[in-house]
Amino acid sequence: MSPDLRWFLWVARAEGVSLLLLFGLAMPLKYGAGIPELVQPIGMAHGALFMVYLIALWHTGRVERWGALRYLLGFVASLLPFGTFIFERRLG
C-alpha cells in the first residue's frame, strides 16, 4: 500500500467516525434528549475533517490514478454513515 493511500485511509476513517458521532450521538441527544450542546463542536470537527477528506481524495486519486467513478464513489461515501469504511474496503 502506498504512503499516500495509507494516509488517505486514515483521513477517511477520521471523517467516518466524525460523521457517526454527529448522526449517532450528537443529533439523537439533541432531538431525543433535548441536549443540543454537542451538535456544534462535533459538527465543526466533522466539517473540518470533511474538507480535508475532499482534498485528500483529490490528491490521492491523482497519485493512484483513479477514474472519475472512484472519485464519485469516494465523495458519495463521505456523505453516508459508514460510507467511508465501505469505500476503504473497496480500495483494499
Partner 1 sequence: MLLHLGLDLLKWIGVLVFVSGLAGSFLLRDPTQQRQAAQWLAAPGLVLVWLGGYGLLTLSGISMMSTWVTGAMLLTLAMLHLALAAVRQPAMRGFYGLFAGLLLLANLLLMIEKPGTVHEQHPTPEAPDEP
Quick check: 78 and 54 in contact, CB under 8 A?
yes
Q: Select 25 or 55, whichever has its Cβ closest to partner 1.
A: 55
Angle (CA) 51 54 55, round 5°? 90
Residues 20-79 that bind partner 1 (CB under 8 A): 40-41, 44-45, 47-49, 51-52, 55-56, 58-59, 62-63
Q: Select 45 or 86, whichever has its Cβ closest to partner 1.
A: 45
Residues 6+ apart with CB under 8 A from 63: 2, 4, 5
Minimum Å gap between C-beta 4 and partner 1 is: 7
For residue 3, the 8-state DSSP code is H
Which residue ranges make up the site for partner 1 (CB under 8 A)? 3-4, 7, 11, 40-41, 44-45, 47-49, 51-52, 55-56, 58-59, 62-63
